[in-house]
Amino acid sequence: MSRFFSEKYANLVPYTPGEQPRDMQYVKLNTNESPFPPSPSVKAAVAAEVDHLQLYSDPECTALRGKLAEVYGVRPEQVLMVNGSDEVLNFAFMAFADEAHPLVFADITYGFYPVFADLNHIPYEEIPLKADFSIDVRDYCGIGKTIVIANPNAPTGMCLPLADIEQILRTNPDNVVIVDEAYVDFGADSAVSLVDKYDNLLVVQTFSKSRSMAGARLGFGIGNEKLIADLNTVKYSTNPYNVNRLTAVAGIAALNENAYYMNNCRTIAENRAWTVKALTRLGFEVLDSKANFVFAKSDRIDGQEMYEQLKVRGVLVRHFTKPRIAEYNRITIGTMEQMQILVDTIERILEG
Ligand code: PMP
């Protein structure tokens, strides 16, 4: 830390992104990216847009927002486009949480929530998941704080039924409930269907996972128009051109080929089922995942050890050292070929 770094960030511990290694080619199952490339029309749209890079992007993302609203069955005024869903999470924390409206989220969930809370000096409470890593909905009912729930949760992959989300919304009418649906396309029910019914709901999604665009940085929020207007106030006070021209046209092209991406999601769900079966056969305990990853542990090998043994053999997964989950590894679901390599490699490791 330099002697110039503001005291207000003295205790800030930044988020640690998953490794993006450059030392060798790994079977990369550590950051929940899609194993499938974007559709060809995305490439063509980006190539054509390069000719216009001398111009700023449209701060309102008019065309992209319109297309997205059409695909999701909402009005454009209910949509905010952002530079990766991390950005809308940060904007939402800035807009809807403070000393008077502290945040609550699970003790085991997306690691960026406490970082954004600290960055914005928002007090927060972590509510422990149950022993089986499920959420006890009663913990959130009528809690009277700004709530953020990842559904499906990360890194467990487990999800809440929509009826539970609705109960949380209904019992916290004076607080915003942020539902982070980064992984919803792989098998969970989306709360987008509830945005007209609850003015305190903000749904957050991303193009990073199901739409093969992690490197383009595109996310979105869907909610009541007044919530979206507040988020726009924060956005226009931060970075009006948050979505660049190349990403915007890539997003439109991807939405025009939604069937390709939703079909990829079905393939991932099939590969997930195969992987769960194979890992279970090897003695792993695998949590019930509706995401594009599984969270697994074995009493035959320590979590950290398994991560390291896989890495030296060219397979990268994600290990967290946090208590309660250090026994586990989070494994992204890739192609069948990748999953076969994973399972074969684990088999060899266990044979010692
Ligand atoms: N929410 C959750 C639960 C995530 O796991 C991630 C990915 N790290 C994000 C949000 C952010 O994704 P992105 O910024 O790429 O949209």
Q: Tokens in use for 310?
A: 């896989």
Query: Angle 112-119/85-96 helices, nearest 10 degrees?
Result: 50
pLDDT higher than 90, residue 19: no
pLDDT at 343: 98
Tell whether the torsion through CA atoms of 341, 343, 349 and 351 is positive or negative.
Answer: negative
The pLDDT tens digits of the residues spanning 150-193 come to 999 999 999 999 999 999 999 999 999 999 999 999 999 999 99
| pLDDT, tens only, 89-109 | 999 999 999 999 999 999 999
Separation between Cα atoms, residue 166 and residue 129, nearest integer Å: 19
Q: Say if ligand 1 is within 6 A of residue 85 CB.
A: yes
Q: Per residue, what are the HEC states of 274-328?
A: HHHHHHHHCCCEECCCCCCEEEEEECCECHHHHHHHHHHCCEECECCCCCCCCCC
Q: How far apart are CA 91 and CA 86, in angstroms?
A: 9
The preferred substitution site among 206, 292, 333 for testing ligand 1, maximizing ligand atoms within 8 Å of CB, is: 206
CA of 220 to the centre of ligand 1 (A): 11
pTM: 0.97
Q: Which residues does residue 109 pair with via DSSP β-bridges, in sequence order?
A: none
Query: For 48-87, how does the pLDDT look when each residue is reduced to its tens digit (9 = 90+)?
Result: 999 999 999 999 999 999 999 999 999 999 999 999 999 9
In ligand 1, which atom is closest to the CA atom of 218?
16
